[in-house]
Amino acid sequence: MTSTPLHPSRLATAPAAQLWLGWRECLELGAVAGLLLALCFPAVDWDWLCWVALVPLLLLCLRAASSRRALAGGYLAGVIFFGATCPWIYHAVHYYGGVPAPLAAFILGLFVLLMGAFFALFGWLGFHLARRVPVPWLTLPALWMAIEWLRTYIPFGGFPWNLIGYAGVDHAGFMLSATVGGVYAAGFLIALENAFLAWIIADLALARRTLYRTALLWPFIVWAVVVGFASFPYDPPTMVPANLRAVLVQPNASVDAAWTGASLQAYWTELARISQPAPAPAAAPPLILWPEEPAPLDYAAEPGLRQELADLARASGGEILIGESTLLDPAAPLGAQRPVNAAQLVLPDGTPGARYDKIHLVPFGEYVPLPSWMQRLGGIRKLLVQAGDFVPGHEAVLFRYGAAPAAADARFAALICYESIFPQLARREVARGAQWLVNLSDDGWYGRSSARPQGLEMARMRAIENRRWLLRDTNNGITAIIDPYGRVVARLPLDRRAVLRGNFAARTGTTFYTRHGDWLPLAGTIFLIVICGAAGVARRRRPRAPEPVRFV
C-alpha cells in the first residue's frame, strides 16, 4: 500500500510552501533594491525612498528559495547601486588619470563587481539568519550595519561611500541618532524600519492575515514610530554664537592646466588678492583657507609663495591654511624623494606653523595598492604617474589658532579630500580636542557628476556626529560652511572662482559618539555572533523528530 499524495487544494493552504522566491523573482527584487537605494542619494536625492529601499533586499533574505538565489539577488543590487552612484570613477581615471577609455571602463566595472560583493554577503548571510534565528526583524538590520562598518575599513583602506544613514542627513531630528552612534546608528534605524515593513509584507502574503491581527500590530506600530521620529520637524538654534570669521577661497583651477613658473606665480598672486578679508571694524581676524587643488603649490620650495602668504597673513592679522603638494624629505637624493599631500598653516606674523600630511590616501588616485609587478602594466602605471605617487603621513595634527581673541589657543583639525568620508578620522580629531573641522578638497577630478553633492552630504554627517562647525573649502565646489547640525549656512556656486566669507564658532563639548566611537556596530556584531551561537546550541539540543511511518 502506498501513501496518498497531498491533494492540490490542501497544498495551496500550506503557508510554508507558498511564495518561495525563484531565480527570476530574486533577481527582480535585487534590481529594484539597487535602483531604489541609488535614488536615495544625489543626483536624484529622493531621500524619502530610504524608508522602503531595503525592503526588496530583506524580502530576499526572508523568502528566497535558496541561499544562492539570495546571494545572486543581493549581488545584483550591489552592482546596480554602485554602478549608478559611482560613475565618476570612470571620469577620474580616464580624464584625470589619463587611462584609455576602454581600460577606464574596465576599472569601473571591476570596482562595481568588487563592491557588489558586500551586498551579496548580506543576501547570503541574511538568508541563513532569517532561518536560524528567531528575531530576523532585529538581526537583519544588525547585519546590514555590521557590513557597512566592514566597508568602512576594506578594501584598500575602506570605502564607506553612500552608507544608507547619509540619506537622513536633511532631517535634523532623526540625525540626533548620529550623535549617539554615528552614521551607523542612523543606518541601523533605517534598516530596522525597513525590516519591520518587510516582515509585515512577508507575513501578510504568507499567512493571508490582516493588519488587525495582534501578531502584526506591534511591528506596524514600531515602524510608524521610527518613520514619525524621522519626519518630526526639528530646527535647533546654534548654541554657541558664530563669532569667528572664515574666508574660503574657491580657485576653480583647471585639472588639465599646464603650469609654468610664470603662470604659477600669477596664480598665487591672484589668490592672495581675492583672499583679503572685507573690512569689518572690531571684527576678529579671519582664518583664510586655500583648498587642495591641481596647481603644484609647494610652500617650502617656493620663496615667492611664502612671501605672498606672509604679506597676506600680516595684512589680515589672521592665519592661513593652504593645501599643497610637497616633499616629505626634500634633502633626499632625487630618486628617493617622496611627495605628500599636505595642509600647511601660516601664522599671523607670516612664519610657517604646523603641517599635516594626509594619512588616508586615495587608492589608484594618490597611490596604487597593488604589487609592483601589476603596477608595471601600461594603463595602471600611467594612472600612477599622472595622478600621483604619494606616501601617507603618520601623525595626526591639531592646529592651534590664536589669531582671534575669542578663540585664544583654540584648536582645529584638517581633513584632506576624501578623508571626510571616514567617520573614525573626524571623531578621532575631535576627541583629541579639535573645536572645529576643516575639509580641504579638490573635487575637479569628479567632473560634473553626483560625487560632489554626495561628498557634501558625508561632510555634513561629520559635523553632525561630533557637533562641530565644518569649513569645506574646495577647488571648484561644493565650498560651504556647515553648522554643528549639518545645515549648510552658506555655499558657493559650482565651477566659479569665488570667495566665501562667513562666520563660525569654536565648540568644546563632545557627543556620545565622539567619546565612544563605533560602539554600536561593534555591539551589533557581537550580538549577531552570540545569537547565532545560541541558536546553533539550541538546534543541537533539540530532540529529533521521529521518522515518519511509511506504508508499503
What strands lie across the sheet with 480-482, from one edge to the other? Answer: 399-401, 410-416, 436-441, 470-474, 480-482, 488-491
Residues 406/243, Cβ–Cβ less than 8 Å: yes
Chain centre distance of CA 197: 26
Count the neighbouring beta carbons within 10 Å of the beta carbon of residue 15.
Answer: 13
- R_g of the chain, CA atoms, integer Å: 27
Per-residue pLDDT, averaged over 235-263, amounts to 83
Average the pLDDT over each of 203-207, 402-406, 463-467, 525-529 and give the range with the smallest value.
203-207
Cell 555634513 locates to: 460
Comparing 254 with 482, which gets the higher pLDDT?
Answer: 482
| Residue 399 in this model has a pLDDT that exceeds 60 | yes
Cell 558657493 locates to: 492
Domain limits of the chain? 11-236+519-538, 245-358+400-504, 360-393
Confidence category of residue 372, pLDDT binned at 50, 70, 90: low
Residues 244/404, Cβ–Cβ less than 8 Å: yes
| Residue 238 in this model has a pLDDT that exceeds 80 | no
Comparing 406 with 123, which gets the higher pLDDT?
Answer: 123
| Residue 301 in this model has a pLDDT that exceeds 60 | yes
Mind listing the pLDDT tens digit for each residue in 479-537? 999 999 999 999 999 999 999 999 999 998 899 999 999 999 999 999 999 888 877 77
| Residue 241 in this model has a pLDDT that exceeds 90 | no
Highest-confidence range of 4-8, 142-146, 350-354, by mean pLDDT?
Answer: 142-146
pLDDT score of 211 = 44
Per-residue pLDDT, averaged over 141-169, amounts to 92
Q: Which amino acid is at 174?
A: F
pLDDT score of 70 = 93
Mind listing the pLDDT tens digit for each residue in 181-197? 999 999 999 999 898 88
Residues 354/345, Cβ–Cβ less than 8 Å: yes
Determine the Cα–Cα distance for residues 528 and 535; give it in Å rounded to an integer.
10
Mind listing the pLDDT tens digit for each residue in 409-430? 789 999 998 899 999 999 999 9
| Residue 365 in this model has a pLDDT that exceeds 60 | yes
Confidence category of residue 12, pLDDT binned at 50, 70, 90: very low
What percentage of the chain reaches a pLDDT higher than 70? 79
Q: At what angle do helices 261-274 and 303-316 cross, to 10 degrees?
A: 10
Confidence category of residue 258, pLDDT binned at 50, 70, 90: confident
Comparing 317 with 12, which gets the higher pLDDT?
Answer: 317
Determine the Cα–Cα distance for residues 440 and 291; give it in Å rounded to an integer.
5
Mind listing the pLDDT tens digit for each residue in 312-344? 999 888 899 999 888 877 666 666 678 888 999
According to CATH, the topology of domain 245-358+400-504 is Nitrilase/N-carbamoyl-D-aminoacid amidohydrolase (3.60.110)
Q: What are phi and psi of 505, to 5 degrees?
A: -145, 155
Mind listing the pLDDT tens digit for each residue in 83-104? 999 988 888 777 766 677 888 8
pLDDT score of 205 = 59
